[in-house]
Amino acid sequence: MKLFEHEAKDIFRNFGMPTPPGGVARTPEEAKKRAEEIGKPVVVKAQVLTGKRGKAGGVKFADTPEEAAKVAEQILMMRINDLPVEAVLVEEKLDIAQEIYAGITIDRNERKYVVIGSSAGGMSIEELAAEQPEKIIKRYVEPFLGFQPFEAREMTIAMGFKGKDISKLASFFLKLWKIVEAYDVELTEINPLILTKDGRFLAADARLNIDDNALYRHKDLIEKLKREPVEQNERERRASEEGMAYVELDGDIACICNGAGLTMATLDAVALHGGRASTFLDLGGGADAERVEKGIEIALMYPKVKAILINIMGGITRCDEVAKGIVAARKEKGIDVPMVIRMVGTNEEEGQKILNEAGIPFLSTMEEAASKVVELVKEVS
């Protein structure tokens, strides 16, 4: 479950973490009122469950309440990464001396939480890792000990801070860890964590993702938020309703398979042949023709998709049903991107016959299919 910035900051404040003064607004008039209450220049930020909103124009500054209302109106009319902006957060504009990154997530390879800090905040941690890896400081958390105060201090010293700033900044890392423990957090970060020119540290941003599998332990939080967990976008919502596992990636090849292991292997095969997946879509077991058709429809809703790779290992999923779904989707949806199909297993021959009659080619191995779909994407790019 992903929390909006203002929801995460409410939790941060409950744990004693300072944030800039401000409040949520859902109309330009409310934004003006918030700015009047602050009485200083403000920043107006789109409240959406996605990143890079600043680059999309979802963060704007205003010197007066009237200007705050104007920019709030502009932001509330936006869609960022295909998500509508339904609220903005109006906060005091800070006098910044330095932007810092602080976060905690799970390193599944190490099977531990990892605390991450950097003196170069303000940019995504992925970009920072690629461009300035030496500025990223990490500490793995021993599960039976938790994150210790001395480790937090060591991190801040390694980040280049001195004197009283060491304990001030260390307290942010320790409070983040307490939030992780209290809420079964998968990811939390502050980017940027601001050091102001008058020596204050403030959480200017807040990101908090709670493990969906632990939500039964946090019903009080859901009740307090007065909403159910929000999916990122319409595509994810549709897939969730259909019981499909769906994850969006940065590539352009939609991978539709049955079973999480096969889907992951298909993504790897695409990468091995020089392609990049746009979509992880697991139809699940026993997918019939209608489910396959819906899966293709959901995958095609993602604008980045330039080709579709369907890789099916028939067991309780029958290949003839998959073929019927593919034929129906191509006929009814007017598919204008290349499709590559590989399916083996239950009713394999019947499925291949259906595809042959419809003039749809298919391949025998995952490697051939991955190579072919990458080749087709290069041709249309």
Please provide residue 154's backbone torsions phi and psi, each rounded to the nearest 5 degrees.
Answer: -60, -40
User: 374 is written with which tokens?
Assistant: 């990458």
Please provide residue 186's backbone torsions phi and psi, each rounded to the nearest 5 degrees.
Answer: -90, -35
For residue 222, the tally of other CB atoms under 10 A from its CB is: 15
- Rounded-to-integer distance, Cα 138 and Cα 158, Å: 10
Mention every residue, 6+ apart, whose C-beta is less than 8 A from residue 199. Answer: 165
User: 261 is written with which tokens?
Assistant: 């292991």
Bridging pattern class, strands 22-25 and 88-92: antiparallel
For residue 7, indicate whether it is catalytic.
Answer: no
Confirm if 75 and 90 have CB atoms less than 8 A apart. Answer: no
Q: Which of 67, 101, 113, 186 is catalytic?
A: 101
Which of 313, 300, 303, 318 lies closest to 354, judged by CA? Answer: 318
Q: List, edge to edge, every strand of the sheet that includes 253-257.
A: 245-248, 277-282, 253-257, 307-314, 339-345, 362-363
Confirm if 358 and 320 have CB atoms less than 8 A apart. Answer: no
Q: Which of 5, 92, 189, 348 is catalytic?
A: 189
Which of 376, 322, 367, 370 lies closest to 348, judged by CA? Answer: 322
In the three-class reduction of DSSP (H, G, I as helix; E, B as strand; rest coil), residue 246 is classed as strand
For residue 101, indicate whether it is catalytic.
Answer: yes
Confirm if 30 and 37 have CB atoms less than 8 A apart. Answer: no
Confirm if 183 and 207 have CB atoms less than 8 A apart. Answer: no
Q: Which helix (H) or strand (E) holds 105?
A: strand 96-107
Bridging pattern class, strands 307-314 and 253-257: parallel
Q: What are the catalytic residues?
A: 101, 189
